[in-house]
Chains A and B, each alone.
Chain A
Amino acid sequence: MEMTGLSLLTVVLFLPMVGLTILMFMNEEKQRNAIRWTTFGFSIATFLLSLLLWALHDPANPGLQFVQRNDWLPTFGVSYYVGIDGLGLILVLLTTFIMPLAILFSFTSHIFEERGREKLYYIFMLLLEWAMIGVFVAQDLVIFYIFWEVTLVPMYFLVGIWGGDQRVYAAVKFFLYTMAGSILMLLAVLYVGGQAGTFAVPEIVAGVQAGTLVFPFDGLFSTQSFLFLGFLIAFAIKVPIFPFHSWLPDAHVQAPTAGSVILAGVLLKMGTYGIIRFCLPMFPEASVAWAPVVGVLGVIGIIYGAWVSYAQQDIKKLVAYSSVSHMGFVVIGIFALNAQGMQGAVLQMVNHGISTGGLFLLVGMLYERRHTKDINAYGGIWKALPFFGALSLIITLSSMGLPGLNGFVGEFTILLGTLGSDVLGITFALFATLGVILAAIYMLYMFQKVFLGELDKPENQHLHPMTWPEVTVLVVVVVMVFWIGVQPAIWFEMMDSSTNAIVDSVAQFTPQLTAMLR
């Protein structure tokens, strides 16, 4: 096995842990501001270094870059193996971009007045950042699993300690639900590793492609399909794919604002990322065979999420269910199993992270002022806070998929991909389009109820003006919304060689399989 020296990627990955270690030795009472700024500083430094990754990344090379590999448990063939391709890079960038926003927003939050333990909060923030980056860079199944499980812990505490009234219920549900999924994945991981003699994903994938490593496949219920499902269920719960979504409204609604932003912005993407990185190239035949089934679930998610969203009186719940709908697009984009669908899906992952993260920030800001999430308690907010209203409008439109903004590019590419797909096709595209229309309905409904109309409620007339951290985070989000919307090519270029390689790895198995299934 090749042993390599320190990679820049390792530095990016472990920088939050350095910050965490420093935080541990700070005094909560006396160094409140220092704690905040240390956390923020480390998250910004991580972001800047990940920009350096971007600058040094060669988009023409579909393979792994910034690779580092060291033995961890050689008897089992497990190594600390990290590296990123275009897909990993774009998600690392998303993570390191969202984290400073979530941390900066927390500065003005009122949660600490009630619950205290500010230091612990920021410790968990950095722990979460470390684990999330780890998920996107790990190239060894066991190391990936470790990071994957570790993300549970800080999120559990963020929801459980600083969440809303039902926080304990939501936190425990989140923990058990996601653990139930991932622990089945552990069995699949161990089986794959035992068969392959190594847990290194590139080696396993190479073995599968070359035919030297065979997971027997003869239909929807065979060894390979069970392994595929073992991974898929873990990922489906995280995404969440209908019908595994029931933890999401609880966790989202009860989480503190920063927690919701990270959940929507990054954690859900771990699921779709996992499908792309592990399910497709390791189990290509099962992926093709199961694609229609997962596609149907994706479409159901799109429509169901939108439908339920429209019925909500709680703004946060409305946004939460809209996530189910939006992530449904990502799922059908992936299982279109062609280049367009895949690229659209990855871009939509980023878009959803930014737009829905932004929406949760908006809801959080409203909640900080009015301490209610009831949609009927608002109305005419635009008149009270016009600048806030304008930024909100842009983010809402972006989430709806208005042309010119980021959401449109992703959804449109996904629909094109679905339309041209051998596995999904026009019916899927039609139903998914219905989701775009429904999104317009519930998003505009929300915007109208909250921001438009008469400013007739006295409590809404004297809202606290926006603080500087709030302005900063929203402006940054809006800039990204426009940037991706106007210049999507930058982002496609970053990842297309990598996503094409993954699509090709499946496509090579498609013809013989379609013949067999007939």
Chain B
Amino acid sequence: MTPSGIDLNLGATLPAVFLALATTVLLLVDVFLPKERRHLTAWLAMGCIGVTFLLTLFTFNLQTTALSEMFIADNFTGFLNLIVLVSAAITILIGIDYMNRTGSARGEFWSLLLLSTSGVMFMASANDLVVVFVALELLSIPLYVMAAFRSNNPKSEESGMKYFILGAFASAFFVYGAALVYGATGTTNLSEIVTAVAGITASGGASLTYLVVGAGLIIVALGFKVAVVPFHMWTPDVYEGAPTPVTAFMSVGAKIGGFAALLRVLVTALPALVAGQSPDPVWMNTVMIIAALTMIVGNFVAVSQTNLKRMLAYSSIAHAGYILMAVAAAGNPLQADGAAQAALVYLLAYTFTNLGAFAVVSAIEKDDGTGTELTDLIGFARSKPLLAAMMVVFMFSLTGIPLTAGFTGKWFIFQSVIDAGLFPLAVVGVLTSVVSAYYYVRVIVNMYLTDGEGDPAAGATRYVNWAIYISFAGTLVLGLFPILASNLTQAVTLVALR
């Protein structure tokens, strides 16, 4: 650090900063592109993602802070950056033809996508509550717009509006929570909060109350973002109404950002927030209860869905519950790193699988946005045998059947939960995944076991197929070689850097 206290260390921030800058340039380029070449914008966006991906690889093994300790670059950041960049790239593949054929193609769409992606990247590298907040907005505001992007469809508008109002509400919760934490500790910097918390828990009093309430409000706000029960109400409507590529990105990107912030705030900054005799942080029980509720509600309600997008919405709620189990396990100081690694592996597994599933949904969706009912899958195995077979793998992966990414993720999570000694939570987790098997298997039943002719799946264009193949490859490779995920995350640790 320089004597003046200002330490920019811009190199460490390069991936996120580059993407944000590139996005603004892309916005201008799109305006000046001749109309017949506007389709190039998507590929330029893809190029930006590619460059950012390379930059992330170069900065992957850093372990440092930047921008006066407001920004942090470590393996955690690097890994999450890679995932979100991959999901943005796959989203572009899903979206190119989709936006055209549904009559909602506009250049700004790709800039918004990149902007939201850079929001996630800032979120993953935030070392200050203020940065978390700014990143949260940067991640969310483009998503509100994107959700409403099919302006010719009232459902899409409803989706954007709903998401905006509830999202704004959640942001308010975050600000209030951050303010209370600041009031108690006198700082918004996560590294400094750690030191302050130790003193506060020792002395108790009003500061402790502020801190606990502040942490609670932050959990509520981030709970909205990652869609956990009881803050999940917006999810099914928003997911159903938003254009499918947006839903796909939302279900993955917003979760990556949300969980990054949750892990940073709770595990890095507040591990010592204990009260009474228990050595566990006070937020651990809360997180456990939310995780259990999320898995139960998400999975049970998904059973009764008839629309594929809504079903996947509830399924994504349930998966947030599984990841939250790892957050709870991270409350045990001995397991913090292992649990954080498990959460990251799960996010990676979930990213490939869920994007693949949504890509298949966009393949069967008709131009007017209908055709996403579960019954629309009947005959899919005959009209598109290869895609149907891959959908089977996605469904098994979401269920957690071995040799798929989903199993690897569940395995890591359950290992960390059991090592942390949270047995009741683990039992709830496995039993609800049996429930989840019921509705995932129903997708397979409709594709393979039910007789009938279906539509020819008009949306299965070249790029959508690519998206499905890439997701499939990721799902399979991660299932067969969990060591890859393990190697990428083994150096992840959530200690406060100074």
Contacts and interface: CB of A to CB of B under 8 A. Distances in A.
Interface of A: 71-76, 142, 145-147, 149-150, 152-153, 156-157, 160-161, 167-168, 171-172, 175-176, 179-180, 183-184, 186-187, 190-191, 193-194
A175 to B, nearest CB: 6
Interface in B370-403: 396, 400-403
B411 interface: yes
B448 A73 contact: no
Contacts of A156: 441
B192 interface: no
B415 A146 contact: no
A76 B450 contact: no
Interface in B385-432: 396, 400-403, 407, 411, 414-415, 418-419, 423, 426-427, 430-431
A184 B428 CA distance: 10
Interface in B455-495: 482-483, 486, 490
B396 A153 contact: yes
A175 B441 contact: yes
Contact of B426 (A72, A146, A149, A187): A187
A183 B434 contact: yes
A172 B431 CA distance: 16
B478 to A, nearest CB: 12
Given A73-B486, A74-B483, A186 B450 contact: no
Contacts of B401: 149-150, 152-153
B448 A184 contact: no
Nearest to A171: B449
Nearest to B433: A183
Q: Which 7 A-B pairs have the closest CB atoms?
A: A146-B402, A183-B430, A160-B449, A180-B434, A149-B402, A190-B418, A75-B486
Given A168-B445, A187-B418, A194-B419, A179 B482 contact: no
A184 B438 contact: no
A191 B403 contact: no
10 contacts: A76-B415, A149-B407, A160-B445, A160-B448, A168-B449, A175-B441, A176-B434, A183-B433, A191-B418, A194-B419
B166 interface: no
B483 A180 contact: no
B437 interface: yes
B219 to A, nearest CB: 27
A92 B12 CA distance: 56
A10 to B, nearest CB: 16
Contacts of A147: 402
Contact of A150 (B402, B415, B445, B486): B402
Given A72-B483, A171-B449, A194-B415, 15 more contacts: A72-B482, A75-B483, A75-B490, A76-B415, A146-B403, A172-B438, A172-B445, A175-B437, A179-B434, A180-B434, A183-B400, A184-B427, A187-B414, A187-B427, A194-B418
Contacts of B403: 146, 150
A157 B445 CA distance: 9
A449 B231 CA distance: 63
Contacts of A171: 445, 449
A149 B482 CA distance: 17
A149 B437 CA distance: 13
A271 B430 CA distance: 20
Contacts of A184: 427, 430
Contacts of B419: 194
Contacts of A187: 414, 418, 423, 426-427, 430
A438 to B, nearest CB: 35
A152 B399 CA distance: 13
Nearest to A184: B430
Nearest to B385: A120
Contacts of A180: 431, 434
Nearest to B427: A187
B414 A186 contact: yes
Q: Is the interface of B mostly helix, strand, loop or mixed?
A: helix
Nearest to A172: B441
Given A153-B401, A194-B419, A73 B449 contact: no
A115 B400 CA distance: 29
Given A186-B430, A190-B418, A176 B402 contact: no
A160 B442 CA distance: 11
B86 to A, nearest CB: 22
A157 B430 CA distance: 23
A76 B418 CA distance: 13
Contacts of B400: 183
Contacts of A153: 396, 401
A453 to B, nearest CB: 39
Nearest to A183: B430
A167 B449 CA distance: 8
A45 B418 CA distance: 43
A190 B415 contact: yes
B101 to A, nearest CB: 31
Nearest to A194: B419
Contacts of B438: 172, 176
Contacts of A149: 401-402, 407
A147 B442 CA distance: 23
B434 A161 contact: no
Nearest to B396: A153
A167 B445 CA distance: 10
Given A180-B431, A184-B430, A157 B448 contact: yes
A250 to B, nearest CB: 15
A72 B482 CA distance: 8
B434 A145 contact: no
Nearest to B419: A194
Contacts of A194: 415, 418-419
Contacts of B448: 157, 160-161
Contact of B449 (A145, A161, A176): A161
A171 B450 CA distance: 12
A161 B441 CA distance: 13
B78 to A, nearest CB: 19
A378 to B, nearest CB: 30
A161 B444 CA distance: 11
A184 B449 CA distance: 28
Most interface-central of B402, B403, B482 (chain A CB within 10 A): B402
Nearest to B486: A75
A190 B411 contact: yes
Contacts of B414: 186-187, 190
A163 to B, nearest CB: 9
A146 B396 CA distance: 13
A175 B433 CA distance: 13
Contacts of B433: 183
Nearest to B341: A75
Contacts of A145: 402
B345 to A, nearest CB: 11
Interface string B11-50: 0000000000000000000000000000000000000000
Contacts of B407: 146, 149
Nearest to B483: A73
Contacts of B486: 73, 75-76
Nearest to B408: A73
Interface centre among B411, B426, B427, B431 (most CB of A within 10 A): B411
A72 B490 CA distance: 15
Contacts of B441: 156, 172, 175-176
Contacts of B482: 72-73
A179 B438 CA distance: 10
Contacts of B396: 153
A412 B448 CA distance: 46
Contacts of A186: 411, 414, 430
A502 to B, nearest CB: 26
A378 B457 CA distance: 48
B307 to A, nearest CB: 20
A153 B445 CA distance: 12
* Interface core residue of B433, B450, B483 (most chain A CB under 10 Å): B483
A117 B25 CA distance: 53
Q: Which of B419, B423, B434 has the most CB of A within 10 A?
A: B434
A74 to B, nearest CB: 7
